[in-house]
Amino acid sequence: MEGHPTSFHIAIHARPAGLSAGAPVVLRDATLRTLDVPEELRFTPWHISFESACERLNHLPRMFVEPDGALVWVSTDDVHPRWQLDGNLWDRESRLLELELKGQCTARAWEDLLDALQCDPLRLMIRLVRHGVFVEDAEFRRWAFG
């Protein structure tokens, strides 16, 4: 049985080199270590193309990605409680710029998502949209999945 789904609104970005630690924030009674991301580095393109990202994600079971980058991904009927993610892939000059996601999923689904994109979690940063902060993937997992 999978863990309890956690709700979030995030954007996954490529992590540029040389970032330093930002000020810690407290969210949901947890202190998170943030990243200080200069404005000019906030939208560094990923290593893969937009089309490749769409194709890779479409291979996940129950993932539906439209040609414009809109997506929805739902859990199987035997997962309780059920989860769902809605989102968009955004591009710049044919390369993936960010993957925005809203909803909830399990830690296992998160792993499957990153595996499908063939991403090294150390090369990612997660923007917590509502809170306006960037965190490392490991920090996001600790906060979102416990």
**Domain range list for the chain:** 6-145
Select the more confidently predicted residue: 125 or 29: 125
Residue 33 has pLDDT above 50, yes or no: yes
> May I ask the CATH class of domain 6-145?
alpha beta
pLDDT at 1: 42
| Strand duo 25-27 + 30-32: pairing | antiparallel
* pTM for this prediction: 0.93
Pair 49, 95: CB distance under 8 Å? yes
Work out the average pLDDT over 92-99.
95
- How many angstroms separate the CA atoms of 131 and 146, rounded? 19
CA count, 13 A, side-chain hemisphere, 95: 10
* Amino acid code (one letter) for 141: R
